[in-house]
Amino acid sequence: MGSLQASQPLEAWQNPEVFRINKQPARSFFYPFDDAKNLFSETPWGSANHQLLNGKWKFNWVETPAQKPTDFFQVNYDDSSWDEFAVPANWEINGYGIPFYHSHHCFKPKAVPPELPLSYNPVGSYRRTFDVPANWNGKQVFIHFGAVKSAFYLWVNGKKVGYSQDSKTAAEFDITSYLKPGENLLAMEVYRYSDGSYFECQDMWRLSGIERDVYLYATPKVHVSDYHARTTLDESYTDGVLEFEATIDNKSGSMVKNYSLEILVLDETGEAIINESLSVPGISKGKSKTVSFQHVTKKPSLWSAEDPKLYRLQLSLTDENNNVVEYIGNKIGFRSTEYKDGNFLVNGKAVLFKGVNRHEHDPKTGHVVSRESMRNDARLMKEFNINSVRLAHYPNDPYWYQLADEYGFYLIDEANIESHGIGAANQGPYNPDIHLVNKPEWKAAYIDRIQNMYERSKNNVSVVIRSLGNESGDGPNIEASYDWLKKQESAPVISEQAQLRRHTDAYGQMYASIDQIVRYAESALDERPALLIEYEHAMGNSLGNFKEYWNAFEKYEALQGGFIWDWVDQTFEKTTESGANYWAYGGDLEPPATLHSDSFCANGLVFADRTPYPYLWEVKKVHQNIGFDAVDISQGVITVTNKNYFIDLSGYELTWSVVGDGVEQVKGGVKALSAEPLNSEEITLDYGHLFKAGVEYFLNIEVKTTRAEGLLQAGHIVAWEQLPFPLIKAQVVANGSARLSMSDSKTAAKFSGPGFSMSLDKSSGLISSLMYDGTEMLKAPPRPEFWRSPIDNDFDIKAYKPSLSVWKDVGLSTQLKSLKVTRMSKYEAKVELEHYLPSVMARYFTVYNISGDGAVNVDVWFYAAPHKKQPDLPRIGTLFEIGKEFNNVTWYGRGPHENYWDRKSSAHVGLFSSTVKDLYVPYVRPQENGYRTDVRHVAFYNKDRKGVVFQGAPLIGFGAQVYAAEDYDRSKQEVAERNMHPHNLIERDRIFVNIDFKQRGVGGTDSWGAPPLYKYTLPWLDYHYSYKMLPYREE
């Protein structure tokens, strides 16, 4: 890849000291109006002084700057041969150029700023005409570009207007002097790569183009160019303080006097709680003046993520003739955000951030995300008890902030700064001598991006923390950025690369383990709180030990929660030539041998189309803001704890039921709740006398909304719990049994009874046949199984853990050492087997107790050789291959969704039914899936409701699917291969059923070496477990 030589003269797109030319100063986001009718509408397109320019533009694309058209911006240029291209839209997913997925590289490894590629740096040229409305005559006209990647020049009517970088905040230009009556021509030249790309090495698809709205707006010659409505609270967190400041520009040809600015703040009933009139001092032509005031409001309704109370702010600019010439509307809230006494405080409370990181991504349109998609994201987050969002890793579309204000999310607004491609402090190789964080010539560009972020969202009440960027090194330019922000206001600022240096208000950790954060909380190393700005890497089948993180967060005041990585898979919806749909990830869209980051873009809590992954239910359960404890469950006394900081429980109601062995026994009425924030209440439930010996009872509790609120519907379940009753032991009564017939030969031992037969191969010691009611259950002999199809967290990266692959074929190479058959009675026989597992030097003992009624009790002992060390076992169990006709499944255990040893808090114990195909979870890269834990019994049966039951003694885990484990591993590199998709799997003529003692936890601390917590692993030790096989018959 060719690169720019330092000796050549630098264009603006190559020069780190040039990042804006003739660009309007960054300002808060608002729409100006000439009347009050549309002040609080979501969009202004129906108003007279806005013109949306989205739609089809003329477009030309070339691979290099040397190929770009040189005079395309001229009015008489012939663009008839150009394509028509949508605005907004990304080039690469619409056939222009190549989408690349990198987790951190800028455009190639080891790039040295400010060098840029010359052999591949596409340039997109745009042209579009528009008419200036007649009623805009005499007004000031601006053009707004919401987001353009990565840098661009602008011309109007053949004249160069300016230049802009920072692809995730607005670029605005005053184009008044460039316009003419009637038709006007816009021309843009957009560069895929610029020196600004060194700031934009985020973990996402590298796409280019115009990504947000483009529009024109007109203002009076004298207009409000910016304002800041900063709200906070007094020291008692009772009264609201509004600190207001507005800048009025005079673009007329003469001095203006006697203007005034009216400020109204209205509550939800329309009553004014603030009504202020500010006289604007005389303003010379071409100049501006600032007006300000401060107002204390007694006991306003406060804004929080739990209760997002908003007020309507209305600004009216009045001229010397007392005519209102401009209106501006916005919604504001009263809240305080501060770092104080070792915590981040919102309204004086050390809230817990139950957060996610969110990239802007759509599976069809890339980085162009619709309002409908954003609103859907907000709804899902609310439904799943997410209260905060880190805007990873750039300022988001302004509409997202409006949603957060309106419906209640705490936001970390993050500057569009990530220089991960040239190294990140605390992460592997890092050369401070070449890093732009230490280069004086890059300092102004840092401050510019910080200012763009701050100014745009300074009026959004949801922004409670600001971030200086992500994985962008640490040095003087980050320090200067922190200092600049702190001069604007004292609100909390975080910089994860700063660690515990002076220029961060929190210990902003990434992927710290539970032990690490607990040590920090207990060490008193620093008074600043720890906030995991990224944790629980949700790549593939992940998010284990989530409950343990939250046990720590809730225990230690110094820990204030975290932000899961991340919200949505960054994959694309694609279809094969044969019509199979799949999700494309790194390596699927790039040319062969192109550097990419595989499936690291598939680490969301939801698929790209926003279908929840099973572990999103774990997030909802662990995040829930209401807790439950049994005081005296036998008498129906429980405690309900309100974990909210600002709202009581009067908006919710509790419903309950008692289930016995998975069947509902009694359903209670509705209980009203009233607990105050951070308090508990005791309630008593009346079950009656229903308990029987030998039945497993649970109290199931649900708390629901009593009315629609924000994005939540009435009746939405916000919290639930399942509390066990003490088990009343039943007297053991010996059951009668059918007579067992036996035949024993040199090759096989055979057993049979009414509707039952079983054969054991004496050469292998494996069951060769199991028949119930004349139907063969088995397609192959059951065998020991220790392997699972590798999940992403199993991969051996950076040699952090020994390979698990030693266990892959252990169950296929068992050696029979001894076999003993003993008739115990006329009803029962016992078979004792010893197998040797040579590849791991372990012994495996099995005892079958076989009854004439078809019940087969199985006891298994696994003995690890003490002189041999092996990696942890992925699982311990037995693999059954049964007929495909037994595709119906009923189980009594945890469900209904997929769950694992370290991710089962959200799965309650119950009686569930499904089909084998519906158990399957189509992870983007195929891997272990569809498991269920704490299973008392599971049945597989055919359309005639005949089949087989596996009963735990006491508990087992099971999984079932129509794909073989070797299909998941099928590739040249075996388990190290990542580029597979669900459509690559081959559906077999049988069902593969795993009946396990345990399967290793899925982990989630990170996806590059961290194992599951030790208590969720199967180390090289001895194990024993039991289960029973029975015929399934349902009359």
Query: Which residues, including other chains, have CB under 8 Å from residue 895's CB and lie 6 or more apart?
Result: 907, 908, 910, 912, 932
311-318/288-297 β-pairing: unpaired
Q: At what angle do helices 398-407 and 371-383 cross, to 10 degrees?
A: 30
Q: How far apart are CA 566 and CA 571, in angstroms?
A: 13
Radius of gyration of the chain (CA): 33
> Can you tell me which residue has the tokens 């087997």?
833
Residue 271 designated active-site: no
Q: Phi, psi at residue 860, to the nearest 5°?
A: -125, 135
Q: How far apart are CA 351 and CA 644, in angstroms?
A: 9
Q: How far apart are CA 14 and CA 768, in angstroms?
A: 72
Q: How far apart are CA 739 and CA 720, in angstroms?
A: 48
Angle made by CA atoms 31, 34, 40, in degrees to the nearest 5: 45
Query: Which residues, including other chains, have CB under 8 Å from residue 733's CB and lie 6 or more apart?
Result: none
Order of all β-strands in the sheet with 288-297: 222-233, 240-250, 288-297
680-684/671-672 β-pairing: unpaired
Which pair of structure tokens corresponds to residue 302?
A: 């406060």
Angle made by CA atoms 994, 997, 1001, in degrees to the nearest 5: 85
1028 near 951, Cβ under 8 Å?
A: yes
**CA-closest candidate to residue 250, choices 292, 278, 282, 277:** 282
Considering the candidates 92, 414, 471, 618, report the single residue annotated as catalytic: 471
Q: How far apart are CA 722 and CA 529, in angstroms?
A: 33
Q: How far apart are CA 362 and CA 368, in angstroms?
A: 7
Cis, peptide link before residue 566, omega less than 30° from 0: yes
Q: How far apart are CA 170 and CA 213, in angstroms?
A: 10
- For 262-273, give one letter per residue: b (16+ CB within 10 A) or e: ebbbbbeeeeeb
Q: How far apart are CA 367 and CA 359, in angstroms?
A: 9
DSSP state of 611: P
**CA-closest candidate to residue 954, choices 1026, 878, 852:** 1026
Q: How far apart are CA 994 and CA 657, in angstroms?
A: 32
Query: Which residues, including other chains, have CB under 8 Å from residue 312's CB and lie 6 or more apart?
Result: 40, 264, 265, 266, 329, 330, 331
Q: Phi, psi at residue 178, to the nearest 5°?
A: -95, -5
Q: How far apart are CA 207 and CA 471, in angstroms?
A: 20
Which pair of structure tokens corresponds to residue 1028?
A: 């029973």
Residue 534 designated active-site: yes
Considering the candidates 418, 534, 536, 928, report the single residue annotated as catalytic: 534
Q: How far apart are CA 759 and CA 744, in angstroms?
A: 10
Q: How far apart are CA 136 and CA 216, in angstroms?
A: 11
810, HSE (Cβ side, Cα atoms, 13 Å): 29
Which pair of structure tokens corresponds to residue 462?
A: 């949801």
331 near 40, Cβ under 8 Å?
A: yes
Q: How far apart are CA 700 and CA 752, in angstroms?
A: 43
Query: Which residues, including other chains, have CB under 8 Å from residue 578's CB and lie 6 or more apart?
Result: none
> Can you tell me which residue has the tokens 């269920």?
932
- Residues marked as catalytic: 471, 534
